[in-house]
Amino acid sequence: MKKIIIILLVIPVLSSCQDWLDEEPKAVATETFYNTEQEADAAVLAPLAKLRNGYAMSYPGLMECFTDYSYGRGSWTSNSDYKGLDTQNMTRANGIWASMYNAIRDCNIAIEKLPNATAMTDEQKTRYIAELKFIRALSYFELVRLWKSVPLRTPENMAEWNLGKTSSEDIYNFIIEDLKFAIDNCPENSRLVGTPNQNTAKSLLAKVYMFQNKHNEALPLLESVITSNKYTLLTIEKSRDFEKIFGPTVVSTPEEIFYLKNVRPDSKGWEFVMFCAHPGAKIDGKQMHGAGGWYGLYTTTENAMISEWDVKDLRKEYNIFPLDFGMGDNTFLMAKYYDPEAPNAHGAGNSNPLIRYTDILLYYAEAATIVNGKPTTDAMEKLNMIHRRAYGYSPTSPSEIDYKLSDYSTKEQFMELVMREQAYEAMNEGKRWLELVRWGIAKEVIKKIKGLDIADKHFLFPIPTTEFDYNEGLDPTTDQNPGY
């Protein structure tokens, strides 16, 4: 008798750009699956659904608690103390681990099965495999950044549960090969809103190279994405105009490179929006979140990143919202995401901006400076595009608030600008902490801004105890990350 493997997949309806997000999971046997284009669509959407679960609240919540500009409240407070995860937050980290490996499992199954499909051409099958390899690479990229060395699960070893750790170098090599395949074989434009394309893969590979300090390899990829002319910065005239980029009803924008898409009203929205909101917070007379809020994240006027932030920068009024919720009248909510009609804690419609065009411009400015040994006119222009927009000017026209290359002529001076712009531009997007770690300045910055020392173990998450319980290829006495 055949062994039937049951997997949960989202079956898409292609009549609208968001319909696929609305469908309920269906159980499908692999013996009859991965044959038609519709079934292959579902094979790509399944791991994306797993990623949305992984990034729901715990990932951005933990990352933002660690940053220099914000703090965790309640059970999240210990993360802002930089002493390592407590039991409750280990559980949250374990959920990220599980979601990433669930996404990898879905990718591996489909990558193995799709070549046998009889109702698609080889070109079609290769395209879907490329999209799956992008998702798998993204999942491993999060795992290697948060845990370093982890088990490498592939279609070839899916039947082996007991796997030891693979070195972070080999994990990165695997990620790079997946992304090179995705660059060569993904569609030029996304098939569906939220699925990867060639520029998506180039952008992620450039980011992977940046995290390996391979600026020479990253730079041409970044330049290729920019010169594709597929992305532009929206012009902002007032702070609430940023809703055109981050609002709950936005389907896509010219700045979107790769987002995890969410919809409402249903239970599939983004829980992080509820995490940031307060039930008493009203923006433009409307509740910050329709279901209330947990306000697990906040900042204060005493934080130098906040106090030194120019009030003329429209990002400041948009990203932080003043509210005394019992911790003093100097507190701010982190308000980038706002959905007054969200029906429940999970129901916010805001999409999770994993890769934005501004990320690419910032990386380009940095990589060009490192490769050339000093800032260039082009690097400064990319930085000024972001800076101008933040002050309400056209991103592509010179303005009175432009940074001048003569004032920031050394690599060190310019990198300070890049680091500051990254903080204000990507605030509350779950990116800042790992950039501080990549730059090697996390300890220095946190000591300067918050006056706290970071224990070394805080730079990695603990491997879940359940992994040791069921995976005999790992030894808890030698394979656990230091300090846990």
Show the 3-state SS of 472-484: CCCCCCCCCCCCC
**Res 1: pLDDT:** 29
**Which has the closest alpha carbon to 399: 383, 412, 411, 415?**
383
Distance CA 94, CA 54 (A): 10
Strand 352-356 to strand 286-287: parallel, antiparallel, or no bridges (unpaired)?
Answer: unpaired
Tokens found for residue 138: 């993204």
Distance CA 106, CA 133 (A): 11
Question: pTM for this structure?
Answer: 0.93
Tokens found for residue 388: 């101008």
| Percent of the chain whose predicted confidence (pLDDT) is above 90 | 87
Per residue in 364-414, pLDDT (tens digit) is 999 999 999 999 999 999 999 999 999 999 999 999 999 999 999 999 999
| Single-letter residue type at 13 | V
Per residue in 19-50, pLDDT (tens digit) is 333 333 333 344 446 889 999 999 999 999 99
Is the pLDDT score of 10 beyond 90?
Answer: no
**Which has the closest alpha carbon to 418: 434, 401, 430, 435?**
435
Enter the DSSP assignment of 155.
G
Distance CA 70, CA 322 (A): 13
Cα dihedral across residues 323, 324, 330, 332: positive or negative: negative
Distance CA 299, CA 370 (A): 32
**Res 34: pLDDT:** 81
Output the CA torsion 461→449→353→25 (10° steps). 40
Angle CA 339–342–346, to nearest 5:
110
Distance CA 118, CA 308 (A): 61
How many Cβ atoms from other residues are within 10 Å of residue 188's Cβ? 9
Cα of first residue to Cα of last residue in the chain, in angstroms, is 45
Break the chain into its structural domains and give their ranges: 262-350
Instruction: Provide the CA 45 distance to its chain's centre, in angstroms.
Output: 17
